Amino acid sequence: MNYWVIIGEGGGFEEVKSIKSDFSRSGKINKTTVRMDDIVFTTGGDGKAKIFICGEEIAPPDVFMLWGHYNEVFEGISRRLTSLGVRSINDIDAKRIVCSKLSTALLLEQAGIPQAKSLTVTSHTSAKTVVECLGLPAVLKPSNGAQGEGVVLLHSEQEIADYISALPEADTNAVLAQEFISTAKGRDIRVVVADYKVVRVIQRVAGNSDEFRSNIHLGGHCEEFDLDDDTEKMCEKVAKVCGLRLCGIDLLQAENGFVVGEVNCTPGMDDEFLKSDRFRQVLHDLIVG
């Protein structure tokens, strides 16, 4: 069985230095890791699609996984391969939805999943409306952000007004204001769900006491965490609602239980898990299944 991992921006793109694909074999699975920008393909014409990696024509694999943030190039590669009958571990439409925190929130709301209250914000929004809806302090974040970038905690109406006045006019990227979950205290719970079963739970803790964001990229670290059965079930439901065979669901500890912070279709995982037999088995089942 031939399996491709296609690496994009936010998926360790920068680390895959070689433009040549790396090739490894484990059991009956031949794995090829390739950067998204090393793949080109044809559309239209005589309808006989050709795919090239690093200039060499290559037969499509049996299954692939896109590893990185959603973008148009990823979408094209995904649709090209699936139209040839290649299985994708995560559906591109599902990936597109969860790359937007706003679309994810609307989807999860329909399924009755608890979440922090949010308000969409544009350069025309009044800071007073934000404060009236969400109170102070409030979190502001880009809807399609990652790794904690651009996620800020603002303590006054003036700070929010300054943030809003710096937004581009008629911006097509959505921005969210969100109630601050003070009980999270710089921690969140990363729940990895594969084939709609929880396979790993880890707590992420912010790097210092002044930081409210728990992202590892910002100096956070991981700790073991035991999650109760009901919350595990909720995470499995979230994965089903989003339609993702592999995802990471981030939970924030609110006053009355956990709320879903976001859903990642390219979830960062701790080294201990990545090196474990359990992870190898999970990946094997995703590829073969």
Ligand X SMILES: Nc1ncnc2c1ncn2[C@@H]1O[C@H](COP(=O)(O)OP(=O)(O)O)[C@@H](O)[C@H]1O
Examine residue 104 and tell whether it contacts ligand X (CB under 6 A).
Answer: no
Interface residue with ligand X, options 21, 104, 115, 215 (CB under 6 A): 215
User: Contact between 149 and ligand X (CB under 6 A)?
Assistant: yes
Interacting span for ligand X (CB under 6 A) from 28-36, 139-147, 192-200, 232-240: 139-147
Indicate the residue among 61 and 220 with the shorter CB distance to ligand X.
220
Question: Among 63, 213, 266, 279, which residue interacts with ligand X (rule: CB under 6 A)?
Answer: 213
Stretch 40-69 residues interacting with ligand X (CB under 6 A) = none
Question: Where does this chain touch ligand X (CB under 6 A) — which range of 41-49, 50-58, 119-127, 144-152?
Answer: 144-152
Q: Where are the alpha helices (DSSP H) in the chain?
A: 72-83, 92-98, 101-110, 127-134, 157-165, 229-242, 271-274, 277-288
Nearest CA-CA partner of 246 in 215, 285, 203, 189: 285
204, 264 Cβ separation under 8 angstroms: no
The reply to whether 214 sits near ligand X by the rule CB under 6 A is yes
Give the sign of the dihedral formed by CA 206, CA 207, CA 208, CA 212: negative
- Our CB check for ligand X shows the closer of 16 and 139 to be 139
Q: Binding of ligand X at residue 89 (CB under 6 A)?
A: no
Residue from 59, 57, 76, 50 nearest 4 by CA: 59
Rounded Cα distance between 164 and 168, Å, is 9
Given the complex with ligand X, which of 78 and 214 has the nearer CB atom? 214
Q: Which two tokens stand for residue 2?
A: 């031939």
Question: Which residues partner with 179 through β-bridges?
Answer: 138
- The answer to whether 262 and 235 are in contact (CB under 8 A) is no
254 to 7, 107, 243, 244, 257: CA distances (angstroms): 34, 20, 25, 25, 5
Spatial CA neighbour of 77 closest among 94, 60, 54:
60
Which region among 10-18, 125-133, 208-216, 269-277 touches ligand X (by CB under 6 A)? 208-216
270 binds ligand X, rule: CB under 6 A: no
- Smallest gap from Cβ 248 to ligand X, in A, equals 10
- Sheet strands side by side (includes 87-88): 22-26, 29-35, 2-7, 63-67, 87-88
**Which CB, 58 or 153, lies closer to ligand X?**
153
Site track 216-255 with ligand X (rule: CB under 6 A), x = hit = ----------------------------------x-x---
Tell the burial category of 207 from Cβ atoms under 10 Å away from its Cβ (0-12, 13-18, 19+): middle
Q: Which of residues 157-196 bind ligand X (CB under 6 A)?
A: 178, 180-181, 184, 188
Supply the minimum distance, in Å, between the C-beta of residue 218 and ligand X. 8
159-187 in b/e form (b: 16+ CB < 10 A) is bbbebbeebeeeeeebbbbbbbbeebebb
Q: Which is nearer to ligand X, 5 or 252 (CB)?
A: 252
Cβ-based nearer residue to ligand X, 139 or 164: 139
Among 6, 39, 81, 116, binds ligand X (CB under 6 A): 116
Q: According to the binding rule CB under 6 A, does residue 70 interact with ligand X? A: no
State the residues that interact with ligand X by CB under 6 A: 116, 139, 141, 145-149, 151, 178, 180-181, 184, 188, 212-215, 250, 252, 261-262
